[in-house]
Structure 1
Amino acid sequence: MVQAQFWYVYQTHCLLGKCKQPEKAYELFQAMIREGCVVNHESYTALLSAYGRSGLFDKAFTLLEEMKNNPDCQPDVHTYSILIKSCLQVFAFDKAQMLLSDMESLGVRPNTITYNTLIDAYGKAKMFAEMEATLVKMLSEKNCEPDVWTMNSTIRAFGSSGQIEMMEKCYEKLQSAGIEPTIMTFNILLDSYGKAGDYKKMSAVMEYMQAYHYSWTIVTYNVVIDAFGRAGDLRRMGYLFQLMQSERIKPSCVTLCSLVRAYGQAGKPEKIGGVLRFIENSDIKLDTVFFNCLADAYGRMGYFVEMKGVLKLMEQKGCKPDKITCRTMIKAYSSKGMTKHVKELQDLARSVERSEFQRKKPDF
């Protein structure tokens, strides 16, 4: 019996925690009951998590009521936090607020994870008033300390919307509260300053990271390479790309897209050729997004033979063109009145749309 109970609990938790298979999880839940296993708080919370992750909120809330009516399986902050997160992932803020009210009525206090989940969701939805109010409430709690996740979610929200001054104030306030920034924090600051065009402050962050020995990650390099590329500072962009390789950090398609985009905007086809030669001598797996950037760069420069050659290169690399590939090339040809080529691409676009429809068509 003990072994059976362990197996059912283990299987149920695996299904709930990692997979969106609420039906199978429910079957295991019922099997536990039939086998005489103790259905405890963890089992209920696990099943509720499966329903929440799958968007089956009616079933999740019904199960929550069952837990509330069972003295041995009362929902706790973990149960509520899981369900709140599921609601916020589909922007169901009304449901999340209802759960918070329910917690308060039961005397269940939110913890750091609950608040971080709310702050992150409000930030992504650009609901800044709600995000700030949640942060203020969190800071007022005695036993609910903000952490680096709080910091990162807050500064990302303000930084991504261009509210640099608010981002800096939050960063300073949370740092003065004893929260130590991580490499992710600095990546967010770099990205925010780069997109705001404040390269002086971006450089200051880079110098700070080097002075205090924060090891750069591929995300760090991608952020700064893209920022200097968009600014047209090809010399610094190229230096960072070389530095990245000397640090034995393998470039990704994101890195290569930034390089190609910058060289295309600067009208440097020979530099794009250099990127392609680098790719030939590497094992980097290219994707359709990269080829779309490449086609766009050649189209901007009026290199139509090379742009058309992108389709052949995609075929060689096992990448299929998508709607963006076709639109990018059609736009380039149209700008020069090359109607024959436009028609060819329009035929290709229709073929791509048919293929995508067939892939998405449900199998009855």
Structure 2
Amino acid sequence: MFNLRLNSYALDPRGLGFGEWQVFELLREQLWYRPNSGIYIKLIVMLGKCKQPEKAHALFLAMIDEGCVVNHEAYTALLSAYSRSGLFDKAFSLLEKMKNTPDCQPDVHTYSVLIKSCLQVVAFDKVPVLLSDMANQGIKPNTVTYNTLIDAYGKAKRFAEMESTLLEMLREGKCEPDVWTMNSTLRAFGSSGQIETMEKCYEKFQSAGIEPNIKTFNILLDSYGKAEKYEKMSAVMEYMQKYHFSWTIVTYNVVIDAFGRAGDLKQMEYLFRLMRSERIKPSCVTLCSLVRAYGRAGKAEKIGGVLRFIENSDVMLDIVFFNCLVDAYGRLGCFAEMKGVLEMMKKKGCKPDKITYRTMIKAYKIGGMTSCAKELQGLMRMPDETRLEMGKPDFR
């Protein structure tokens, strides 16, 4: 039991801090301890996710020192740690080493990890090289590889590459598209406003026997909402209710924002109440949608209601929310309240940024308060050191 407790704690996915290292060291000091490759590999993976490649490398070396079997999984874990932190020279060097090390040959998972990391930093030029290398090694992409490519190409609006990848996946035969493939494709077309194409794809995936999940419906709702197709959005909501799909925080945020943008405050507020009655905690995204909607509708008193809700909640506010609040008050010409947001930010430990002050300057100009606008513009032009010496805001 003691052994199991130590292992589960050491593998806490939130990261490996001082306490976790202490536990791992304590484990290694036990008389009954025997080096375990599996534990080391999982720890290296966690360090990679926490962007600590140096520690991951140190643990890899410790693994070798303790006589653990170092196989392709261990190398892939370290390669993942390097690539997640953008250390591609080290990652590609390790890939070459794997090719020349017996029993450590890279597999489809190794290449998929590296491809995903390249795509995350928009290094699209490295992908064809990796795919070609895979082919030379006799390794075929799997469903995960194809889904990674389709998702990245879709997000980058590289539709030609996305569609050719999907066709290649279908030609392969052994890599059946799944719900992840469907969701990535629908999101790509829906977010770019290609609603008809999105709907045709949805029908084709369904006819292929792929069942939608909650993420699918969230994508459809978001796409219809942004395209102002509220009837279709309502139809999706009714379908979800009919077939008992439980709404998530993402679902509520999408529909609250959509009705807010449409100016349907009654429906927006109903959904907000329903969300709370379902014991789903509103997020900063939820509150931004409310504030934006009230700002557009000229409802300053309603914004005050949102702030009172915040006072009685533990929602963590970020710079995006405060900038929404500044913009809403600026639109309404509530300049005292707008300036008061800066004090609120100070109390919450959140520094204003350039967007905050540019939003204020725009509001002052529209409101004819040119002197206030010029004062802020002057402060923004000052060197950071001078401004801070004067006790003025930090714009970084």
Distance 1:197 1:64, change over 3 A: same
Matched, 1:316 2:347: yes
Provide Cα deviations, 1:76-100, integer angstroms capped at 9, x if missing partner.
1111111111111122222111111
Residue identity opposite 2:327 in structure 1 = D
Report the equivalent of 1:278.
309
Number of residues of Structure 1 aligned to a counterpart in Structure 2:
360
How many Å separate the matches in 1 of 2:394 and 2:309?
A: 36
Tell me by how many angstroms 1:202 deviates: 0.7
Deviation at 1:253, TM superposition (A): 1.6
Q: 1:53–1:312: structure 2 CA closer, same or farther, 3 Å change rule?
A: closer
Match of 1:104 among 131, 135, 138: 135
Q: Would the alpha carbon gap of residues 306 and 33 (structure 1) be closer, same or farther in structure 2, given more than 3 Å must change?
A: closer
Contact 2:37 2:63 (8 Å CA) reproduced: no
- In structure 2, the residue corresponding to 1:73 is in which secondary structure? coil
Distance in structure 1 (CA, Å) of the matches to 2:354 and 2:100:
53
Contact 1:322 1:352 survives alignment (8 Å): no
Counterparts of 1:184-195 in structure 2 under 5 Å? 184-195=215-226
* Structure 1 CA distance for aligned equivalents of residues 57 and 308 of structure 2: 54
Provide the TM-score with structure 1 as the length reference: 0.90
Which range is displaced more, 23-32 or 242-251? 23-32
Cα pair 2:48 2:78 within 8 Å, conserved: no
Question: How far, CA to CA, are the matches of 1:31 and 1:24 in structure 2?
Answer: 10
Q: Which residue of 2 aligns with 1:245?
A: 276
Paired with 1:17 and 1:277, the residues of 2 have a C-alpha distance of 41
| Paired position in structure 2 for 1:86 | 117
CA–CA distance in structure 2, aligned partners of residues 29 and 16 of structure 1:
11
Alignment partner of 1:330 is 2:352: no
Partner residue of 1:66 out of 94, 97, 101: 97
Shift of 1:335: 1.7
Task: State the Cα deviation string for residues 222-274 of structure 1 (Å, max 9, x = none).
Answer: 11111111111112112211221222222112111111111111112222222
**Residue correspondence of structure 1 range 217-296 to structure 2 within 5 A:** 217-296=248-327
Letter in 1 for 2:359: T
Separation in 2 of the partners of 1:253 and 1:132?
35
Return the match for 1:139 from 170, 180, 201: 170
Asked whether 1:114 is paired with 2:113, we answer no
Gaps of 5+ in 1: none
Q: How far 1:330 sits from its partner (Å)?
A: 1.1
Asked if the contact 2:45–2:78 (Cα under 8 Å) also holds between the matched residues in 1, the reply is: no
Structure 1 residue 308 displacement after superposition:
1.9
| Structure 2 residues without counterparts, runs of 5 or longer | 1-31
Tell me which moved more, 173-182 or 268-277: 268-277
Following the alignment from structure 2 to structure 1, what is the Cα–Cα distance between the partners of residues 395 and 68? 43
1:48-85 per-residue CA deviation (whole Å, 9 max, x = no partner) reads 21222222222222222222223321111111111111
When the two structures are superposed, what TM-score results if normalisation uses the length of structure 2?
0.83
Task: Give the Å deviation of 1:22.
Answer: 2.8
Deviation of the 1:32 alpha carbon: 3.8
Aligned to 2:187: 156
Q: CA RMSD in A?
A: 2.6
Does residue 1:301 correspond to 2:332, yes or no?
yes
- 2:122 and 2:229 map into 1 onto residues whose CA distance is 32
Q: Which residue of 2 aligns with 1:212?
A: 243
